[in-house]
Amino acid sequence: MSLTFKNLYDYTERNLKRSLGLETLLEARAGMSIDFPGYSRMRPGDYRTAWFATVFLDIRGSTARAFQIGPQKTFATINALLPTLARVVDEHGGFVVDYPGDGIMAHWELEDISDVLTVKNCIQSCCWMDDAVKSIVNPILEKYSIPPITCGIGAAVGEVVVTKIGIPGYMSAKAIGNSVNLASKYAGKDSNSGEIIIASYMSHFAFDDVQPGSQEPIAYRYVANTDSTIKITSQNLKIPRPTREDAQLELKNLIQSKLRNSG
């Protein structure tokens, strides 16, 4: 992986400085519209089913914060945060499909329901995003006298319907499914104050990862909540992991069981 703490830090600070007028903006480049890879040729009303892992990140208390600090510092905050998160998602094989409000929505498409490696990449991205906010974005904001932020992160996996909504020239791809709703709910929970909350059946596949602020593997601890979710905290605890084969079988069984119970 080419993404490191240093280049992500430098990238974030450049974006913030440009938004504050402290650094010259780069020449504008033609950009791609946000879309689902592999689904761009769909027409309004077309749909396909697929298995997705979905992540939402939400800035907690953002409305009150915006009133307190004003539009310029709010603009700078968004320019420091969202491009950095998008870099993290891209490095972990996901794709951003929306920036709802002041957050981010990203998907990872699974080959099938036993694609444990994609689930792993999704959860690793959550851990990188959490660490990037706390170890990169907030220190840079404070460096330029902007109050830090607190972000909630949520993730879930499930079968979704991908469709195109709108009219020619004004179309948007949408993923519709319970897992998308759950990921958004977890990120925005009142009790989620700067945490990662994932569907409980995903916790079996959050393998050790290297955070952007460290060169050593960090083991994540999982705390069961009362509503079939798991909270991830990084406390350097050594947690046993299943083999890849065991994890693939368990993921398939867990998701199928969850679908039967929800039906």
Residue 11 maps to a domain: no
Residue 16 maps to a domain: no
Residues of the chain predicted below pLDDT 50? 27-32, 236-242
Residue 34 maps to a domain: no
Q: What is the pLDDT of residues 202-212, one digit of tens each?
A: 766 655 555 56
* Predicted local confidence at residue 175, as pLDDT: 86
- Domain with residue 109: its CATH number is 3.30.70.1230
Residue 13 maps to a domain: no
- Give the total number of structural domains in the chain: 1
* Predicted local confidence at residue 246, as pLDDT: 61
What tokens appear for 225 in the block? 């909540």
b/e map of 31-58 (b: 16 or more CB within 10 Å)?
A: eeeebbeebeebeeeeeeebbbbbbbbb
Residue 207 maps to a domain: yes
CA distances from 81 to 35, 45, 148, 179 (A): 21, 34, 11, 25
Q: At what angle do helices 62-69 and 71-91 cross, to 10 degrees?
A: 140
Cα of 41 vs its chain's centroid, Å: 25
Residue 35 maps to a domain: no
Residue 2 maps to a domain: no
* Predicted local confidence at residue 245, as pLDDT: 64
Q: Please give the Cα distance from 107 to 56 (Å, whole number).
A: 9
* Predicted local confidence at residue 171, as pLDDT: 74
The whole domain housing 76 covers 40-262
Q: What is the pLDDT of residues 139-177, one digit of tens each?
A: 999 999 999 999 999 999 999 998 888 777 777 778 899
What tokens appear for 101 in the block? 């409000």
* Predicted local confidence at residue 29, as pLDDT: 46
Element (H, E) at 80: helix 71-91
Model pTM score:
0.81
Residue 30 maps to a domain: no
